[in-house]
Chain A
């Protein structure tokens, strides 16, 4: 073998993989070919460690038109000839190195995935994870990421309607930036990422190609790294203005019959855009790198093929229509070059003028070897799970008030207004429920329908129990949608893990996906798209296994949507789901246990059939107009859920006759699954009872809405102003 280990490391290929390439090609690969194989066979593009596991996820339902891996994003039918197009993707590694541009180009990339398919992007969400804000560097990263998302998304005029932010030590050197984009299209005008029909032309549109982002896919996103500074040039710089022009031009192109397909340039740049779209078309391709407009002089073919310069699109133009396409692009002041054409050779041929610099079978390029490494339940996991809660002293009666306030002010629970008010969440005139609720609600113009969107994933749970953590991630996202009055329709997921070549990390990945699959089947929600981000670790320290579920739901009548806020004095407050005395398991992995006792330990529990019944019960009650507010219990437990509904509605609560037979901390702050706090008018009590009985869901009376205080008789008594102050300023005061 005529290649050094160092050069293979550069393209993240193993010696065995190199051997396979030589064997299949029947010769040593050229330099350009090696770069192309390296990026296409990288974890980021080739999913070589995760593909076998991802097959476990259910991906079909009567609504699904396009499932995972088939196109740039998943597609579900919402009726009336319309579809929603949805995808979530991580931009973790670039954001660690350059938070503003990393996050900005993460938004740019996910938006391109959606409008490439001919869908107008109408919503963005972000799931973010950082180390504690008490560390200066984390504050820099946090400010940079939020600024980058705002800077890019606001310029595009796409509302950023929701998401989540969570802080934990393990994300200090490995923050997570997961961006979700949802678009809407007419079913009959969907565009495929397909290059087919010999003689059709490949047109590269948008930004010129520079040296930025080379090795992004293979180097940055597909291995663990020790030293981060050297990788700064692998991060790209975004130009949202150019992207905005691309959106408008591509959506106009999608309405014509002049094109065969479109594919955006993302990870691995021209290499993956050309090879993957040709692979879908089933033919071959020939391109000339000399035709690609450059930002810099003297770029080698290798650099042109692997550059990850942003805001570029590959348009496959029907032969004979190139002038029409060019004139449309000229109107939007967009540069375009014809760089090659589709062939029927089955080969990807790259030329520099007359000289062939790469010539490899398309099928080989897109067929990396797949791995199922050994996995083993780590010994430390058993130890964490077997922790006995009796070793933790219960809180004293007089501490209930102060601990509730502490939890409300915890950055994981406190209001995220500081973040989302920097994002335009109202542009496009569709946003019915603004960020800050369980789920965002958007109306679909021209219909009575609404869609509901959320993203969820508790890494702490998955660290303690990857399987149940995966189950809970799906259950909680669905519960959030149900609380807004929507029927869950589909999932796009982002799976963020450490180095899969380690047995314990692969165990986490394996178990978590099995858990997600179990919940998807149980709740009948398919996964239609997503992304896997591995190697989220620095110096051997991996993040919590963090699967994030982006979920969309639908409601027939958007006027019937529901919010978390308590509405009117005298309304009755009930708890759907497990009752107060649910045992000490509810403390496992809770925000309370970490904040007050500094422990991340314990067991998780969820009864999936009960979860489903609770959701069905709540949804029916909302649809029938009985429920006036609904809010699920999550981080911080029941007391926090009630406090949030009080603050949102600017009205108090009085809890009466709470029968707490076990620990106080578990009753108030334990994180039981499948619990929803709902309010109704006093005259709806019979109806709610009947619905709960029919679904066999336990119903517990908690108290009444009213007054200016949050009271649970005998335990908690706090003025609403104090509750609101803790929650509203908890995050802000850390940032002053």
Chain B
């Protein structure tokens, strides 16, 4: 299978995603400049973290108009897997591929730290290698990661099992102290209704080797790889 990593001006997790996929997991991966409009030949598209266009306007609001986004929409519509990490999650929300918005953190500070994520749904293509309720140790690095959506949207997310990750304690308790940014209901990652588009604030590509403190991020990539291995045809 083949991963495509989109680069917007200001993206910086592109190289880390490439490293985790190519150097650690031995997968085929290539970079895609945001002005391109062709995604054929790719199985999974990654919108990495960074500060697209400097985050000078509302985060993701400019990148959302990059030429590649129309193709990403089509790609997702046809059932392709799309994962947005950090700034990528923000762009997916701005593009309407995922509901809700990422507000500035409640403490109004940028935070880079390890967090614990409880896997809420392990039936998705992104989490099949995780156990339900398993706690993953993965770092965050953001200012605008405070997930918000109106009550009706949240209800739909919950009833459709679209909440994929929640910030928790190391033992899996969802508490206020475990929430690093004020996200509603400790939401750290959500999927679309169809389950083929995932947005998450934490950086799985940083938890790719024990030397760096955790390999839990690989479970997400390995789930995607497994999905394609099992996919008929």
Contact = CB atoms under 8 A, between A and B. Distances in A.
Given A332-B9, A558-B211, A426 B112 contact: yes
Contact of B9 (A333, A423, A427, A559): A333
B141 A154 contact: yes
A579 interface: no
Interface string A333-376: 10000000000000000000000000000000000000000000
Nearest to A422: B110
Given A429-B19, A559-B211, A244 B111 contact: no
B16 A427 contact: yes
Contact of B16 (A241, A332, A429): A429
Interface string B6-24: 0001101101100110010
B54 A240 contact: yes
A223 B20 CA distance: 50
Nearest to A429: B16
Nearest to A159: B112
Interface residues of A, number: 29
A672 interface: no
B141 A426 contact: yes
Interface in B32-82: 50-51, 53-56
A421 B112 contact: yes
A156 interface: yes
Contacts of B55: 155
B48 to A, nearest CB: 10
B24 to A, nearest CB: 9
Given A245-B9, A427-B141, A429-B205, A422 B111 contact: yes
Contacts, number: 78
A241 B54 contact: yes
B35 to A, nearest CB: 9
Given A155-B10, A241-B53, A429 B141 contact: no
B206 interface: yes
Contacts of B53: 241
Interface in A235-261: 239-242, 244-245
A422 B211 contact: no
A282 interface: no
A421 B211 contact: no
Nearest to A432: B211
B205 to A, nearest CB: 7
A154 B212 contact: no
B10 A244 contact: yes
B56 A424 contact: no
A422 B113 CA distance: 9
Contacts of B109: 421-422
B interface secondary structure, majority: mixed
A40 to B, nearest CB: 33
B12 A429 contact: no
Interface string B121-148: 0000000000000000001010100000
A432 B56 contact: no
Contact of B51 (A244, A333, A425, A426): A244
Contacts of B198: none
Interface string B161-189: 00000000000000000000000000000
A105 to B, nearest CB: 15
A239 B19 contact: no
Nearest to A333: B9
B142 to A, nearest CB: 9
Contacts of A421: 109, 111-113
Nearest to B11: A157
A558 B210 CA distance: 12
Nearest to B205: A429
A431 B208 CA distance: 12
Interface string A400-431: 00000000000000000000011111111101
Given A443-B211, A445-B19, A559-B211, A424 B141 contact: yes
A117 interface: no
Contacts of B9: 241, 244-245, 332-333
Interface string A318-337: 00000000000000110000
Nearest to A242: B54
A425 to B, nearest CB: 6
Interface in A432-464: 432, 443, 445
A150 interface: yes
B215 to A, nearest CB: 12
Contacts of A245: 9-10
Interface in A40-98: none
Interface of B: 9-10, 12-13, 15-16, 19-20, 23, 50-51, 53-56, 109-113, 139, 141, 143, 203, 205-206, 208-209, 211-212
13 contacts: A155-B55, A156-B12, A157-B13, A157-B50, A241-B54, A244-B12, A244-B51, A332-B9, A422-B112, A424-B112, A424-B141, A429-B16, A432-B211
Give the 8 A-B CB pairs with smallest separation, nearest first.
Answer: A157-B12, A241-B54, A155-B51, A424-B141, A424-B112, A429-B16, A422-B110, A150-B110
